[in-house]
Amino acid sequence: MEKPRMLQVTADEYLQHVYEIPAELPPTPLPDESFTVLWKEAEGRGVLDFLTDRLELPAFDFRWQQESCLRISFASTLGGQLPVISTGSHEDFRSMEALLCARKEARELPLTINAFAMQARAEKIFRHRVLLLNHAPYSNISAQSLGLSREDWLERSYLLRLAHECAHYETLRLFGEMRNHALDEILADALGQIAAFGEFDADRQRLFFGLEKGTGICTGRLLFYVQKVMLEEREKVFRAVDRALDLVTGELCEMCMQKAGKLEILVALAGRSIAERI
């Protein structure tokens, strides 16, 4: 049977995506979601035992490369605490994503993708949200290209990746949704860069996205987030994102000078579309 085609949109339609910010936001952090209580039981237990025995996920016969590196911890977000599963290799990351989705086989994922904010999909725990993070260089960028040691870059990569995925969860809880979209990736990477480097840098972000400045050429991670855009329209999106990054740098510098908090930054980035910025 022929697979249904993905709905395609124009660049202009894609670039209009923005979050509707409520007139009054609740006090943050929000109360933890109820499922976190069950995940607290994972402390002191083997990760796979907890997932298959306590959460009753199917115990498929995945071959784990670094089972001893599997960890469950908790992240504090504006949306409350959230369980985090960490893996030690890209293959284990792919296997864990499949396990959480109750799939027998891991899907192909580019080496630039090492994190997800997702739902565990077994029937019993379908609405349990979890962050899945792999210990790897962020966006598959080498430490050398950033002028860092491998150890320093791996540590910063984890901080960046964690803050990035927390941001997706925060848009979901505070604004009602999260998307695989360039705006969301700018927002999440901005908070990630601040967590890992203390600032947002447009050129560093171009490196993470695989964008060549001023050319409309993309060879990296951003390709994953524009799959719904018509092929012939994608260059327009890449050029728009390229221009927006410099503007976001200016916005964040000003907010930093004003000592803006995380919620203010989240609202400011989510409340204006890429189209509005350029």
pLDDT at 120: 74
Mean pLDDT of 153-175: 96
Question: Which pTM value belongs to this model?
Answer: 0.91
Comparison of pLDDT for 118 and 65, the residue scoring more: 65
Asked if pLDDT for residue 170 goes beyond 60, the answer is: yes
Q: Which of 238, 164, 155, 149 is nearest to 200 (CA)?
A: 164
Query: According to the model, what pLDDT value does residue 56 have?
Result: 85
- The CA-CA-CA angle for residues 44, 118, 246, to 5°, reads 115
pLDDT tens digits, one per residue of 183-232 = 999 999 999 999 999 999 999 999 999 999 999 999 999 999 999 999 99
Which is more confidently placed, 152 or 46? 152
What secondary structure letter does DSSP report for 216?
A: T
* 2, pLDDT greater than 60: no
**Average pLDDT of the chain to the nearest whole number:** 92
Helices 234-257, 202-209: crossing angle, 10 deg rounding? 140
pLDDT tens digit string along 233-244? 999 999 999 999
* 8 Å CB contact between 41 and 128: no
d(CA 152, CA 130): 26
pLDDT, position 175: 96
